[in-house]
Structures are given as C-alpha cells and as structure tokens.
Amino acid sequence: MEARYGLEHGAYIWGRSVHNIRIERLWCDVTRGFGHKWSNFFLSLEVSAGLKPDLDAHVWLLHHLFLPAINQDASDWAKTWNEHKIRFDNDRTRSPRDLFFFGMTQNGLRGFDADQEEEEIIKDLDAYGVDWEELHDADVMAHHMEHNADQELDPEALENPFSNDGPHRLSHVEVQEPLCPFSVEYVTQLDTHLALNPHSASRNMNSRRDVWIDALDFCRHLYD
C-alpha cells in the first residue's frame, strides 16, 4: 500500500495487530466459509491422490482445474456476506451493502482523492480502532495467533517513545503464476478429455477429487 500511495498517507496502519481485529474477523469468516474446505481438499490430494506441490506442473494443473471453482466460491461467499446483518451499538442492524449504498447517498462518492475531513481528536490513541467485542472472541484470536505470530512491533521500538518503527515485516505473498508445461495442442486435448468426465462440472469435493485423479493420469500419459 505504501509503495503504491506513498508514505504518510494512511494507506497502511502501523501498530499492534489488535487494531486490525475487524479484518481478522473477516479472514476468520472466509476460512470458515470456504477456505478451510479447499485447504483440506488440497491436503487430501497430497496425501492420497498423487499431488506433489513442489512440482510446478502439478501446481499448474491445480490452477487449470480448480481456480475458476475457487473464484466462484469466493464470489458466492462475498455476495452472502454483503447481505448479512451487522450489529451497531446506537443504530439498527445493517448489511455491508446497505452501509455502502446509504453511505454514498449521505456522504457522496468516496475514494483516495476525497476531500480532507476534519482531524479527529483521539483521546486514547492506544485503544483507537480496537474492536473490543471481537478482541475477546476466542476463535478470532486463535486465528490471529496462528497466522500472525510474527507481526507484532519490535519490543525495543515499543519502549522508545520517539520510534516510528513498523512490524518486522509487511504481510506480502509473492505468487508466481505457474508456467504451462504443455503446448496449446496438448491443453486442448486435456480440456476435451475433461469435458467427457461426468464429474467435471460438479461442486462436490469427492467428485472434484476424481477429476484431479483423471486429469493427472491423462497428463502423465501425454508424455508416454
């Protein structure tokens, strides 16, 4: 974010990760909603269906077979989440879609170039942005500790009142797109073969496992 929008623009919130509890809550819900299902699926392929995640060709095949299905699950989950109701202390429950729509109606279109708002007077900076209700949710905090154990600020920086140091590292995952191991002709043959598989359009994970086994076997025989 800072590489894109520059320093001192508020694009990245430095500080202890308890200030990001709402996004932690969201990731927890995403994992429950569909992420855990796919994680278990890939692990099962690795254990008992011949998947070798260190082989680029196997990663490419996973993408080719299942990336559209994962994107569909993400889209379906997002649509459902955008309609769910959120509790507020001094207001009636509203969905994220309602908040987005009525927010634009009340405040106009917003973006990174929005007019500068009046500076908010923050009385308790240490507690600013902390969602105390979610902070005491055991599931959210367990998810946070599992995936963010090394994201806290440097202890030495915390002791220095003049330090503006950030976390040990920023959350960043470099995802290299796997190179296709086949020619266009071979990919066409694979797709034609998959179209004949009765499970190719199924959203059942056992059926998808059969599709993986069938596709992997077909790819191996392409080199025979």
Mark out the alpha helices in 53-137 (DSSP H runs): 56-81, 96-107, 132-135
Q: Tell me which range, 98-102, 140-144, 177-181, is most confidently predicted by mean pLDDT.
A: 177-181
Q: Which residue has the higher pLDDT, 11 or 222?
A: 222
Backbone Cα Rg of the chain:
23
Of the pLDDT bands very low, low, confident and very high (cuts 50, 70, 90), residue 140 is: confident
| Per-residue tokens: 113 | 């170039």
Instruction: Examine residue 195 and state whether it is found in any structural domain, yes or no.
Output: no
Q: Is residue 142 part of a domain?
A: yes
Amino acid at 96: P
* Range(s) of the domain holding residue 30: 2-181
Sign, CA torsion 32/37/39/43: positive
Contact 11, 5 (CB under 8 A): yes
Domain assignment present for residue 96? The answer is: yes
Q: Does 34 reside within a domain?
A: yes
Q: Domain count of the chain?
A: 1
Check if the beta carbon of residue 65 is closer than 8 Å to that of residue 211.
yes
Q: Are 182 and 222 in contact (CB under 8 A)?
A: yes
| 84 occurs within a structural domain | yes
Note whether residue 216 is domain-resident: no
Contact 112, 122 (CB under 8 A): no
Please name the residue ranges forming H helices in the chain: 2-5, 21-30, 36-48, 56-81, 96-107, 132-135, 138-147, 155-159, 184-195, 205-222
Q: 158 falls in which pLDDT band (50, 70, 90)?
A: very low
Does residue 192 lie within any of the structural domains? Answer: no
Element (H, E) at 92: strand 91-94
- Does 224 fall in a domain? no
Residue 183 confidence (pLDDT): 93
For the record, the structure tokens of 155 come out as 């202890």
